[in-house]
Structure formats: C-alpha cells, structure tokens
Amino acid sequence: MNVGIEAGQGLHYLTVTALAHAIAHRQLSPVELMKAHLARIEKLDPRLNAFIRLDAEAALETAKAAEAEAIAGHLRGPLHGVPVGIKDIIDVAGLPTTCHSKILEGNLATSDAVCVSKLRQAGAIVVGKLSTHEFAIGGPSFDLPWPPARNPWNPDHHPGGSSSGSGSGVAAGLFPMALGTDTGGSVRNPASCCGIVGLKPTYGLVSRRGVFPLSFTLDHIGPMTRNVEDNALMLEVIAGHDPLDPGSAAASGGRYCAALDRGAKGLRVGFVRHFHEVDMPAEPEVTAALEHVMRALQAQGADVRDIRLPSLGEFAAVNRVILQSEAWAIHGEWLRTRPGDYGKLARRRLMPGAFLAAGDYVLANKRRLEMIAAVNAALAEVDVLLCASSMDPACRMDRPAEVERTYPRQARTPFNVTGHPALAMMSGLSSGGLPLSVQFVGRYFDEAMLFRVARAWEQVSGMDKKHPPIG
C-alpha cells in the first residue's frame, strides 16, 4: 500500500477523512500509518507529555489486523485503521483509568467506555491514554505521578485543560483525533490553546457510561480534531442514545457531515460581545480576531446582530456551585481519608463542595433554568451564537499566578450550565505565535449548524492548515 507520500513523511498532518479514505482504497497501510505516528510520539512526546500510557504494542497489533481486513475488503467502519487518543478519565479495556491521579493509580478498566467501543466498532485504533488535569479539574499540576502536558506551539506554555494531552497530541500530529471531556470547558479550552477543533455536544448526545464523572449534570464527552469535517465524522460515530446512561438523550445522532459545505450565506449569527468586551475584557488580539471572524461571516452573507445573555460571572458561579456540589458527592470519602493523595489544585477545587449547603445547590439549579431560557430565547432569534472562548492566549506554565489569573477568563462554562452544543476553534495567531480562538454555539441537537458555520470560517481562513512549529 502506498498513499503517494514517502515513508511516513507528512502522514501526521493528514486529516482523519483523508487517512480513512486512503486506507479504504488500499493506498495506505494502517501498519505504516501507525508506525509513522509511533515514531512521531517517540520523538516529540518527551517534550509534550501528552501520554500517560502509550499502548504501542497493542496498537501495532490492531493495525496489523486492520490491514489484513482492509486487504480482504472488510472495513469495520468510517474510521478503519485511524489512530485515536483517549483522555485518561475514559475507560479503555485492559488499561488503567488513572484520571492522572495517585488516587486511581492501577485502576484497571475491564471494559471500554461506550464512546470508545463505538470508535473501535468504526475501525479506530486506540493508541494510548492521555494526560488530563487531575480528575478533569486539578491542573496544570507538577505534584502528580505524571507530568502535565505541554503546548506544541510553545512547550513553555499551557496546552489548556483539562483534556490537555488530547489537545496537545492532536495539534502536534501524534494522532489525528482524540476524545476529551468537558464539564466547564475542558474540550474547548485545549482546542483554543492548541489551535484545533473541539466540540462539546448537546448534553446527553454522547453516552457518559464508562467515563469517570466530575459533575453528573455538566459532563459531556466530545471529539477533538484538526479540522471541522473530521470533528463531524467523529461525532457521527460516537453520538447516540444509551439506555444505560441515565443522562442520555432519546434523540439519535445525526448526519453531521452532510451539510458541511452550505456556507454562511443567509445564516443569522448572534454576536455575544459583552462576554469579551464587558464581563471579562479580552486581550486586544483576541477581540480583533473575533471581529475578523464576524466580518468574514458577514462577507459570506451572514446576518450578524448583537445578542445579550446573563453575565459570564454569574454563569461561572452557577457552574461552580453545581460542579463542586456534585463533585463532592464523588470525592468526599477520598478527601476525608486520603487528602494527601490529591495534588494541591485538585484538593482546592474539589473541597468547596463540603462548604456548600443543599439550598445553595437548588438555588444554582433554579438560576440555571432561567439561564437556559435566556439562551433558548437568543437562539430563537438567530441560528447560531458567536462568542469568545478564551480571553487570552495560553500563558506560561511556570508562572502559577498567571495560570490562576487566566484560567477562569473564558466563556465556555455558560454552555455546560445550559447544555447547548458549543464548538471552539482557532481564530488566528497571536503576535507571540500562539493560537487565538472563537466559539460557536447552537440549538440543542443542532450540531450540524455549528459544523456548517465553523466550516465556513475554516474555509475562508485556512485555519486547518496552520500547525505548530514543532518536529
């Protein structure tokens, strides 16, 4: 098999769609593809720490089986032979799910999470388990059994989190797609910091079964890829009702790739300016990039108007009260008996739940209902919302005060609170050579609209062609 590219050269930045197509048409060997990625991982991961556990031997064996199947004309599905990385709070049978924490060191998963099982059924090959903030909340931390992941655009900088290894590895070409989870923005933050595409789907669209919870009513599982089409393809594979997940939506998954190229003409876009202009004033470069995205969509024929929502500060507070109350119900016993086995950041971010009352949790949920109504009202006027994701480019990791300052400066938590689908992607590059970001938000289960507008921006901007200057 030969894809027309010299041995391994350039394979690491091919898209999922291109790789799957080449494998399906016997132009590319899954074994050669896996070897190329393993070589790149060996070369770059010592600088990036995207992996907690690389499963090279099993990945190569599976690639050999995938090659034999492809030669025999048997393709498992649309991801046949394509490598995927899995955030280490998601179960992969036979591998530990550590949640990047000493608390769960050696916690062997006996079966695949539903999302992993669906990826495997579609032919994807799990290459390993990826770094995360501890329990998807405490990071970046240097007091854990494994080091934190780093940003391939500049390894001195934070890759975002909590799906840090997923963002870092996809951007660096260690694997073309990854799974992340998002409770307060943890798919969209690394997507924003690392310049890739990250989707938090509608609440309940992707099964949470087999994923270690952080907050039952805020947790989402989402695809992370280098372009919009791959993201849509990955969502097609992992979406769908799961009768054994009590939070699973009855709605079935959609055909998200079908309407990708319809463009922005005629779309009504609501620009939520007050998030980044008033509530949390963004860095000027971030603001300029958002204006650029808005004008680019206008130039394609979109009708852009301003939209107001509740303030970011209040969205964040509601998210925190719900998250910390639910997380306390998960971590309380370990925090009582093994507080020293958590890193400092996780300990500080998980213990507030001990100091919140039942009435606080109910009040936050009452306000949540009003916030849902506000976002639904906005989305009755427009087809999609455009807003900031991160208010700053990724900061240096060796400056804890700067990490602490910039970490909450984001507009992602609103859509965990409300459950609406939200996609973050690159809007440009900062003067320091780091990705800037934009976020699109849609109606419940209208991920197709998000992909459509995101694709329109991607095609006019060429953001999917920009890669970090590494390796």
Chain positions 444 to 463 lying near other proteins, rule: CB under 8 A, are: 444-445
Cβ of residue 347: shortest distance to other proteins, in angstroms?
Answer: 5
**Which segment (20-28, 134-142, 253-261, 366-374) binds other proteins by CB under 8 A?**
366-374
Asked if 436 and 428 count as a contact pair (C-beta separation under 8 A), the reply is yes
Which of 147, 263, 352, 471 lies at the binding interface for other proteins (CB under 8 A)? 352
Q: Is 461 a catalytic residue?
A: no
- The whole-angstrom separation of Cα 50 and Cα 85 is 9
Cβ of residue 318: shortest distance to other proteins, in angstroms?
Answer: 6
Does position 138 bind other proteins by CB under 8 A?
A: no
Residue 385 or 425: the one with the smaller Cβ distance to other proteins is 385
Residue type, 186: S
Asked if 136 and 162 count as a contact pair (C-beta separation under 8 A), the reply is yes
Q: Please work out the total of residues on this chain that contact other proteins, with binding judged by CB under 8 A.
A: 49
Radius of gyration of the CA atoms of the chain, in A = 21
User: Torsions phi, psi of 92, nearest 5?
Assistant: -125, 120
Say what angle helices 56-71 and 16-24 make with each other, to 10 degrees.
Answer: 50
**Which segment (61-69, 187-195, 342-350, 382-390) binds other proteins by CB under 8 A?**
342-350
Residue 61 or 245: the one with the smaller Cβ distance to other proteins is 245
Residue 343 or 435: the one with the smaller Cβ distance to other proteins is 343
Vertex 423: Cα angle to 422 and 429 (nearest 5): 140
- The whole-angstrom separation of Cα 417 and Cα 148 is 27
Does position 344 bind other proteins by CB under 8 A?
A: yes
DSSP annotation string for 58-72: HHHHHHHHHHHHHHT
Q: Which of 87, 102, 118, 129 is catalytic?
A: 87
Asked if 192 and 157 count as a contact pair (C-beta separation under 8 A), the reply is no
C-alpha of 188 from chain center? 5
Q: Which of 117, 162, 163, 215 is catalytic?
A: 162
Residue 64 or 347: the one with the smaller Cβ distance to other proteins is 347
Cβ of residue 344: shortest distance to other proteins, in angstroms?
Answer: 6
Residue 347 or 466: the one with the smaller Cβ distance to other proteins is 347
Residue 103 or 289: the one with the smaller Cβ distance to other proteins is 103
Cβ of residue 98: shortest distance to other proteins, in angstroms?
Answer: 22
Token reading at 38 = 């393993």
In angstroms, the Cα distances linking 149 to 46, 158, 162 are 10, 8, 10
Q: Is 186 a catalytic residue?
A: yes
Cβ of residue 193: shortest distance to other proteins, in angstroms?
Answer: 24
In SS3 terms, 378-403 reads as HHHHCCEEEECCECCCCCECCCHHHH
Percent composition of the chain: helix, strand, coil (DSSP 3-state, to 5): 45, 15, 40
Cβ of residue 263: shortest distance to other proteins, in angstroms?
Answer: 27
Residue 71 or 354: the one with the smaller Cβ distance to other proteins is 354
**Which segment (3-11, 78-86, 134-142, 308-316) binds other proteins by CB under 8 A?**
308-316
User: Torsions phi, psi of 214, nearest 5?
Assistant: -110, -45
Residue ranges binding other proteins (CB under 8 A): 202-204, 216-217, 246-251, 313-314, 316-318, 320-321, 324, 332, 335-337, 339-340, 344, 347-348, 350-356, 360, 362-370, 372, 419, 444-445
Enzyme catalytic residues: 87, 162, 186
